[in-house]
Structure 1
């Protein structure tokens, strides 16, 4: 079943009001109130929005939600609220099925939406976000102010953040009786990539000792535009970091290091059996820096992963290249990372960087809400619905063959737990 993060606005029926009355802390409701129930179903996920990327499972836990409703006639904000400490807030209670939490929002008096046409805008984020000025940008979205979609900026790596508007980018109308029924879909606004590898060459052609695996990308952007939610297969990033310093193997192009894997963090004695590859037959451990409980890997493998600000393809440069380096950062071996088939449709959010390059299987854009994977790691306590107690079911990629790798793309990242406002 496809899953998404959904806010569903509806004026509650008398049945819903009866259910609310069973809660001792429920508000007193009458015909002068507009009532919304905000529900986040998280499938018992234990991670927050700023989680590390350890697998393809995309369950997560939204720490805070900013909700704005604005009048489309003049973009004036009619209502705004923030639900903080979502997982511990005393006004947020467990849902009846136990797989989420919910709260009730009551609009009375000056808060009630007058008759008119509106849109809604919501952002779900980590309370300890690394995005510069996120809180400042959200704080200006207050009642009476003019609405403008926000951007967030990172000084380094991207992290998960979610945003959305009325489903289909449509507006909704509040009639004279105040009744309304509408929903908002929040989707991940960044991309992700991970590599899961085994049978790693231990030496170069001249017996140089391999020390590092790194993933290089043709671009790396700073800013995420939280807008253009009606666009699918979209790039919504802008502003390159500049000063690309990671050399491609052809010596003609430079890019940006996305992640780096130190091989001795996994193979503490190197190629301990001297067979020329690093695998399950060598002395092996999980990287000690990965301290999250329940995150396990198949013996003899290594893993690296990061979130990415989406970017458009760069003309003439392979979008992703995996490199095996020695201790002096010389490239001993490399693998160009290709798609199985080119992306036929790529949309660009207004204001995002657009290189207007024809997509190919090797030169391709990195799209929001898409996960680009090399090898298969199914789950784990980093967000999986089940702990990864049997990593032997995983399928890391064999690096002891070939010069090109195929990257798998999950363009929907669709196993996200539901969030609904009923």
Structure 2
């Protein structure tokens, strides 16, 4: 107690001393009082956790609604009011502790601090700060990000073509006003720019020749637009984030044609040793017939791979957001044979009380290259997949089916509210749920 009293008196004394002749700003960041020297210019770069995949491509795989990030690079740049780039900072090995640290004030993620010194210090004026976090060997064409250089010019709303259905990428923007003779310490928050969709199911009907469970969509965009950001330190993973939720479709360059587009495909032969029904219940036999395809051979360390409820199957991917197509079912789960013939299908619907059904969706207008398009008419069957929202069949909040027992694939436990694969037995329709610090986690439904 005495030590705390002396520290408090020392802080008051220092504040009194400095207030006489120079500006010293003290920032309360939740971990104590931190001083910012007179005229110092400090940016705290914060990347929100969130999202979800094991994959052979760049970026992390989507296995659940767990909040996490595996990006390797962050690039930040500052532009003046006319778009001239005044400062550029590139950071590699982002997820290593020597480069960034975990933060929990407000939201949760990783952060680092950048101080502008000497020739890099900003003159008085208004600026825009941009930052993008991305993976090595990214599936995106990142030329518009990597070519940004000091003394160059920059126009916001970058369009990034992608060679896959989507990959996790983070971005954010902040306006900054610099006053003569004054310093600052400001955070810029980067959030996930893609949507996510997964199917976590059990009680899979047995049909002769069945091989795949495919989650297919009514549309697919092939490019991502970085702009119209929601640079907010989200306070909960998919909990609604009241007042800070946006409904934005930031995808463009849609595939042409009337066919559906595959988001993810579950190869049932990887989850079951044989596709059979020896007990005659019209379901694919589970029990000893089930296996976790993501468990490495040998004796893998617990917590280094995802676990699942025994008898279940999972497939999920990050998705470039797309707008709903009038008159077409947005998502459908299909059971197919090896050649793609549909043996059975389920409609995947948003719940009747889902908040998205009340929203007007903001969309990128590729014709006028702006955000002028507003989309209404969302319904349980025809809905958009929007940025930083997760759409899930079944409930799966963590990569581990039971985080308290890492490395264990548990027997089905219907009492676990955070890990509940959806039963496909006698269901005709699926209802979707969204989620990390996903802004919202949508739970989809099966009838």
User: Which residue number in structure 2 is paired with residue 115 of structure 1?
Assistant: 124
Pairs within 5 Å for 1:188-203 = 188-203=192-207
Q: Structure 1 CA distance, aligned partners of 2:198 and 2:259?
A: 21
Which is bigger in relative contact order (C-alpha 8 A, separation at least 6)? Answer: 1
Q: Is the 8 Å Cα contact of residues 310 and 409 (structure 2) preserved in structure 1?
A: no
User: Which residue number in structure 2 is paired with residue 277 of structure 1?
Assistant: 283
Deviation at 1:282, TM superposition (A): 5.6
Q: Describe the superposition over 1:82-138 as per-residue Cα deviations: whole angstroms up to 9, x where unpaired.
A: 111224485x365699x9766443322321100001121111111231112x1x222
- 1:180 pairs with 2:175: no
- 1:351 pairs with 2:357: no
User: Which residue number in structure 2 is paired with residue 224 of structure 1?
Assistant: 224
- 1:140 pairs with 2:147: yes
TM-score, with structure 1 as normaliser: 0.77
Q: Is the 8 Å Cα contact of residues 125 and 177 (structure 2) preserved in structure 1?
A: yes
Q: Is the 8 Å Cα contact of residues 314 and 357 (structure 1) preserved in structure 2?
A: no
User: Which residue number in structure 1 is paired with residue 173 of structure 2?
Assistant: 165
User: Which residue number in structure 1 is paired with residue 444 of structure 2?
Assistant: none
Q: Structure 1 CA distance, aligned partners of 2:248 and 2:286?
A: 40
- Structure 2: stretches of 5+ with no match in the other structure: 1-22, 231-244, 298-302, 368-372, 442-447
Deviation at 1:415, TM superposition (A): 9.5
User: Which residue number in structure 1 is paired with residue 256 of structure 2?
Assistant: 242
Q: Is the 8 Å Cα contact of residues 212 and 260 (structure 1) preserved in structure 2?
A: yes
User: Which residue number in structure 1 is paired with residue 87 of structure 2?
Assistant: 79
SS at match of 2:61: coil
Q: Structure 1 CA distance, aligned partners of 2:397 and 2:364?
A: 35
User: Which residue number in structure 2 is paired with residue 363 of structure 1?
Assistant: 382
Pairs within 5 Å for 1:12-411 = 13=25, 34-38=41-45, 50-72=59-81, 74-88=82-96, 92=99, 103-132=112-141, 134=142, 136-149=143-156, 150-166=158-174, 171-203=175-207, 208-230=208-230, 232-243=246-257, 254-275=259-280, 276-281=282-287, 283-287=289-293, 293-341=304-352, 343-351=357-365, 356=375, 358-380=377-399, 387=406, 389=408, 391=410, 392=412, 393=416, 394-410=419-435
SS at match of 2:256: coil
SS at match of 1:343: helix
SS at match of 1:261: strand
Deviation at 1:327, TM superposition (A): 3.3
Residues 372-381 or 211-220, more deviating: 372-381
Deviation at 1:263, TM superposition (A): 1.3
Deviation at 1:258, TM superposition (A): 1.1
Deviation at 1:78, TM superposition (A): 1.7
TM-score, with structure 2 as normaliser: 0.73
Q: Structure 1 CA distance, aligned partners of 2:100 and 2:83?
A: 33
Q: Structure 2 CA distance, aligned partners of 1:191 and 1:282?
A: 35
Q: Structure 2 CA distance, aligned partners of 1:306 and 1:96?
A: 27
Q: Structure 1 CA distance, aligned partners of 2:43 and 2:162?
A: 33
Q: Describe the superposition over 1:150-202 as per-residue Cα deviations: whole angstroms up to 9, x where unpaired.
A: 22221123110011112xxxx33111114234332321100001101111111
Q: Is the 8 Å Cα contact of residues 80 and 143 (structure 1) preserved in structure 2?
A: yes
Q: Structure 2 CA distance, aligned partners of 1:351 and 1:83?
A: 32
RMSD (Å) for aligned C-alpha atoms: 3.6
- Structure 1: stretches of 5+ with no match in the other structure: 1-10, 20-28, 244-252, 417-422
Q: 1:318 to 1:327 in 2, by over 3 A?
A: same
Q: 1:42 to 1:209 in 2, by over 3 A?
A: closer
Deviation at 1:401, TM superposition (A): 1.2
Q: 1:12 to 1:215 in 2, by over 3 A?
A: farther
Q: 1:60 to 1:238 in 2, by over 3 A?
A: same
Q: 1:105 to 1:410 in 2, by over 3 A?
A: closer
Deviation at 1:37, TM superposition (A): 4.8
Q: Structure 2 CA distance, aligned partners of 1:86 and 1:287?
A: 29
Q: Structure 2 CA distance, aligned partners of 1:209 and 1:347?
A: 41
Q: Is the 8 Å Cα contact of residues 272 and 283 (structure 1) preserved in structure 2?
A: no
Between the two proteins, the alignment pairs up a number of residues equal to: 371
SS at match of 2:74: strand
